Amino acid sequence: MTVMNPRAGTGLSAADELGRSMPGKVALPGEAAYARARRIWNGAVDHRPALFAFCETAKDVQSALQIARGHGLPLSVRGGGHDWAGRALRPDGLVLDLSGMRRVTIDAERRVATVEGGATAADVIAAAAPYGLAAVTGTVGAVGMAGLTLGGGYGPLSARYGLALDNLLGAEVVLADGSLVTADAATNPELFWALRGGGGNFGAVTAMRIRLHPVPELLGGLILYSWHQAEAVLQGYATLAASQPDDFAVSPGVMSGPDGSPLLCLAPCWTGARSEGEEVMARLQGLGDPVWAQIAPMTCGEMLRMFDERVVNGRYNAVETRWVSALTPEVIQLLVAGGEAKPSPFAAILLQHFRGAAARVSIDATAFGLRREHFLIVIVAAWESDAGDATAADEAAHHRQWAEGLSLALALTPAAVPGGYPNLLGPHQQDRAALAYGYKIMRLQRAKQRFDPDGVFSSATPLPA
């Protein structure tokens, strides 16, 4: 007996209508364009949408949304495609694929970038670089700029210039009713407030205006320490970082050396005067005896590319995240134990220090819920597998258990902060999302009811009902 997908006919009907309004911009299962669009960063996600609509303009987004709603198809939005949880690929739904909308326009005089909804961090950095300007981004160039910004946007420039969302000046948004609106401080201010931290819950962002900063060059690089030094170096780093100005940022992490054994890495960034930065970098290297160190003047683009080669699309991934108030001895010991137990050479533990300008933004200015100094810890279980169906589930469970176990252990420490980074919370972690937003969750829920009362954009960052 053949079991038919109940949405297959609906998808075909919607595709036929889309084909008339967006000729050549639709893909169905079995087509090469569909297979390409279904590939995202996390190969463990096997969601199968009913169809893709490859949007090139805001009008395309409006047309595809109206057709999806007319045919009763659920929706999701695919931007940069650096997706770990599969939110971009709605099973049996219509995907608004914005990956073709990557134009970035720079107004150098006003220091503003206008960024389309599918542009990546690398696209923005490359467009701004000729003017000696840079945007606040994360640490990886392949990440979609819209998704990063709407959920938060920790990065090496955050201590100096705030989160990515703090640099959002305005957005062009297609709402659930198909209308195209502007949201900024003067127009639709409540939508603008909700977009800055509430993720993609309120509409499809087709363009953003982002504040740029004069960063023609910075001092950065990578320092690696052998594993037996990890605890002492992390303790020294925690002390050093507490006394540094906003020009200083370091992303500590656990990675693997060529033989697969764990190494402690420090990825520093200095945006102030060169001579002062060189002194700070010398102190950082002096926390231990580095097995490798390279610190040099570089551009923001070069800094992003340092990690791009480790971000391989299609590798299996499971991600857990925690907030802690400080790198206490207990937290450091757990990080070291977690690094020692890494189940694959591709697994990693990454940290971001939230401080400086990001911590000085008023708690009520945006929807982002945590404005005091803290550390974001990202636990990435990553693996490659040739296992057959019979053993693949057991293999995946082994890697996930490592990430979940470390996350739970961190949650039980006195330094743990409730909730977690919304961009890295899974679709079923609404309880942690509520804690992450704190008292602002009710305001976000009211905004959701106002701008998306039918839950059209329900595949985005989790919000409790």
Domain residue ranges of the chain, discontinuous segments joined by +: 8-97, 104-214, 218-424
174 contacts 65 by C-beta, under 8 angstroms: yes
Whether the CA torsion 464, 360, 424, 51 is positive or negative: it is positive
Any residues with CB less than 8 A from the CB of 103 and at least 6 apart, and which?
Answer: 116, 119
107 contacts 123 by C-beta, under 8 angstroms: no
Domain 8-97, CATH number (from 1.20.140.10, 3.30.70.260, 3.30.43.10, 3.40.50.10860): 3.30.43.10
Q: What is the largest CA-CA distance in the chain?
A: 74
d(CA 114, CA 292): 39
Q: What is the mean pLDDT of each run of 10 residues along the chain (465 residues)?
A: 48 91 95 95 94 98 97 95 91 97 98 98 98 96 96 97 98 98 98 97 98 97 97 97 95 94 97 96 97 97 87 90 98 98 96 98 98 98 77 90 98 98 92 95 97 93 80
Domain 218-424, CATH number (from 1.10.645.10, 3.30.200.20, 2.70.98.10, 3.40.462.20): 3.40.462.20
Question: How high is the pLDDT of residue 203?
Answer: 97
Question: How high is the pLDDT of residue 88?
Answer: 94
Question: How high is the pLDDT of residue 387?
Answer: 62
Question: How high is the pLDDT of residue 5?
Answer: 52
SS3 assignment, position 4: coil
- CA-based nearest residue to 151, from 249, 84, 90: 84
Instruction: Show the tokens assigned to 333.
Output: 């010991």
Residue 407, CB half-sphere, CA atoms under 13 Å: how many? 25
Instruction: Show the tokens assigned to 193.
Output: 């407030």
Question: How high is the pLDDT of residue 309?
Answer: 73
Question: How high is the pLDDT of residue 2?
Answer: 33
Q: At what angle do helices 430-437 and 441-451 cross, to 10 degrees?
A: 110
In this prediction the pTM is: 0.95
Question: How high is the pLDDT of residue 7?
Answer: 55
Instruction: Show the tokens assigned to 279.
Output: 């002194």
Q: What is the CATH T-level fold of the domain 104-214, as seen in this structure?
A: 3.30.465
Query: How many C-beta atoms lie closer than 10 Å to residue 83's C-beta?
Result: 20
